[in-house]
Structure formats: C-alpha cells, structure tokens
Amino acid sequence: MRLSARPLSPHRLFLAVLALAAVFRALTVAGYSPAVWFEDSFDYVGVAERMQPYPVRPSGYSLLLWMLRPLHSFTAVVVVQHLMGLAMGVMVYVVVRRRAGRSHPGWAVLAAVPVLFDAYQIFFEHAVLSDVPFAFLTVAAVTVVLWSPRVSPRSAAAAGALLAAAALTRSTGLVGLPLLAGHLLVNRCGARTLVAAAAAVAIPLGGYAAWYGSWHGSPALSGGSGVWLWARTMPIADCERIRPPADEAVLCPPQPVGARPSSPYFIWADWSPLRRVPGHPVAVPADLFHPEIDGRAGRLARRVLFAQPLDYLLLAGRDLGRTLNWKRGPSPHSPSIVYNRYAFPNTHGPLPDGVRVPGAGVQEDLRAYEDGPAGTRFTEPAAEWMRVYQSFVFLPGPIFAALVAGALLTRAALTLRRRSTPADRPAPPGSLPLTLGLALAVAPVAVTTYDSRYWLPCIPLMCLALALSAAGLAGRAPQPLRADGED
C-alpha cells in the first residue's frame, strides 16, 4: 500500500484542491438540471440532431453533442464539460510542476486555482455552449507542446490536431495555428516536426472544408465572415461619408452614429439591415449568412475599415478596455432572450420555440435530444449555494489584467537576461501560452465584439505563462519530473 501511494504523495495539496473544486461542480449538477441555456445552445442542438456543416459557425461542438446523443442526457453533456474544466486545472498543474522545477509545488497549485474555482468557469461548464470544449482543446494543445523541452514530430502532430479541433469548435481558434508554427520554428524543431504538425492540421480542416463544400457549394470552415466583420464595423460606419453603392447601402444602419447599439444587435435584432436585402427573406438564422448577403456585408465592412481606420481602432480599444471591468458578464447592450444571463439563474424562464435549424423547432430538438423536458429545474439548497458562490468567487477583470501584465513583464525580464547568459541556457517555456492567450483575448474584440466569456480560455493560458516565466526568472531551470514523480 505504501508503494502504491508513493507517486501521489508529492501532490497531496493539489489533490485536496482538486477534490474541493469537484465538490462545487457536483453542487452545480445537483442544483441545476439538466443544464443552463443560451440562444446559441439551441443552434448547437439543432445541428447535432441533423448533423451538418452549419453556415453560422463551425460544427465541432455540435459533433461532440452528436457523439453524446445516444445517452439522451444534457446532464451527461455538462458532466463531460465539468470534467474538462477539472482536466484543465490538472494540465496547468502538471505542466508547471514538470517544466518549472519541483522545489515550490505551491506555485503549480496556485497557477491551477483560477480555472478550478472561478465561478464563471463552472457556470459555462454547465452551459450547452462551445466555450469550455474550446478552452480544453486549446490548453491540451499547449500542454502537449510544453510537456518536454524538445517537441517531437508526434507531439507536434498531436498539438496540431488539437488546435485544428479547437478551430472547428470556434473560429477564433484559427489564430493558434500560426502561433504553433512560429513556436516550432523559433525553437528549431526541424522539418519533420513542422511537416507532422502541418499534416495534422490540414487533414481535419481540409476534410471539414470539403464536407462544407458538399453542402453549401464551396469549401470553407463556416460562412458569414463578411457578416461578422460588417457587424463589427457598423457601430462606427458613416455611410454619408463613405457613400457605398446602392446594393451595399441597403446594409447601412438606420440609427445615427453615436446612437447605435453594440455589434451583435446588427445581426440578431429584428430590425437588422440584413433582413431587408431584396430577394433574401430570413426564416432561420442561417439565412442571414447567405453568400450574397455575406458578400455585400463584407464589401461594406472593408470600405468602413479603409475609410475609418482610426474609428475602428478606437472601437476595438474601448471594448478591449472593458476587460478591466470588475464584474463579468455580456455587453449591457447585447440582445438576450435567456433569463439571468451569465449567472446561475434564480428565476424560471420559458425556453424559446420556433425554428432555428431547418427541419424541426427548438422545443422538438431539445425534447428529442433529452428524451424528455429540457427546461432548467432548480434544486435547493444546492442552487442557492452556487448563486452565492458566484457572487464572491470569480476572477475579476483587473486581476486578469494583472495576470497579463505579470506574464508580459516576467517574460520581458527573462528575454533581457537571456541575452547576457550562455546560449546553451534552456529557453523558458512560457512564450506559447502567453502569445496564444493574448491572441485569444484580442481576436474576438477585433472581429466580433467584447464578451467576457471569450477570454475564458485565456485564464489558464495566462496562469501557465506567468508561473513558467516567474519560475525561470527565479532561477529554476526548466526540467522534467523524474518518472516516479518524487521531489
């Protein structure tokens, strides 16, 4: 018995922390059955019921729902996502222990705490949304890359496949692909490693693009890139100044500049200009992303960017600055039909009906997947405990900004110090999580809008970056653990 327990003894503190994090997730499952819902949830379920490449967004998350469909349980879906959340904490811990030295295991535990205990992390694990699977795939890819000082072709292929899966779960995952390539190049991993990573990326993305083309006429990962960029630029678009041609002018906002809502409204609101393009009636959300509409919207968006670059940068900068908000939540101007948005609900609200994915209505899809009613049901006192927990235990925007600043400063200090040390000194491994975390924080603000849930995957990445760089700055050279895991 003593020998079998020996490998776990250095990790007792972390195992206790992990067990406590699992308790809060168990309370969430007990308090809110079967899941919590958002507008996007109903699209994901509809696509899973009639598996297809969806024009609005990639169908990777719907594929996960489709794989779990034989269980006929949204509870099973959120349990899998809660396990992903716990797994991210484990990955942060083991990477820091393995690469930053073992003399201070408390550093590794501390780095894992935000992803394990942040109430919004737990909340989104309990929502039928792509956020947590996307974060899990991204952190898993970084874990594979950082597992050893030298990335092998096999590890590069695994990381590439995981990032490709992340990109098929959320389009912003595409920013990780050039960053992985850059990491492999900077670390001189060799041609075989680069080829292995490229093949692992190209096969799933190419296969999905071909599947999309078989449904929609041309290969792509999703439709609507023009529509998303158009919506992003509409809060600032001055059509009187730009004077677009008539076929694009129909997409100009009806409100004056300065009195316009945030970007999501321009797509989803009933008054959206996308709904009045002649010859293109809108019956379901995918109709808003018709290639003809998407082409017009993209052309108008590019006109705005060329004519008003400073306005665009100011818009993106203001939204990025909202990361400093203490409270976490959606845009106050964001359209919503779901009660208690971004918080564990304290009131019941009806789920919508109507058709979002052609073939069946929302209620029919939910009932078919769950094999019964899918509306959120409360069980007290567990539900109340999690509502109170969310009021106090979360990572505020200023603390997240401090994580980013700390990671940047320690990384800069390490870079300066390495210039004055021998060339054979091991390179600190924190650059990939740092650059990927920054990219995933900035990309949504640049192409869609600000939303605090979009920086959910950035939290474990920044914790990794800061812990690894701080350990390097403290003089602990990156090294792997011994096989038996002893200190």
Secondary structure of 48-117 in HEC code, one letter for each residue:
HHCCCCCCCCCCHHHHHHHHHHHHCCHHHHHHHHHHHHHHHHHHHHHHHHHHCCCCCHHHHHHHHHHHHH
Name the pTM for this structure. 0.92
pLDDT of residue 312: 96
pLDDT of residue 475: 64
pLDDT of residue 427: 55
Phi, psi at residue 308, to the nearest 5°? -130, 50
Residues of the chain with pLDDT under 70: 1-8, 101-104, 329-340, 420-428, 475-487
pLDDT of residue 101: 65
Cα 434 to Cα 407: distance, rounded to the nearest angstrom: 7
pLDDT of residue 414: 82
pLDDT of residue 485: 38
pLDDT of residue 481: 35
Q: What share of the chain is helix, strand, coil (3-state, %, to 5)?
A: 65, 0, 35
CA dist 369 → 143, 281, 362 (Å): 33, 29, 11
Cα 127 to Cα 39: distance, rounded to the nearest angstrom: 11
Nearest Cα to Cα of residue 478 among 414, 420, 434: 414
Phi-psi region of 54 (alpha: psi -120 to 50; beta: other; left: phi over 0): beta
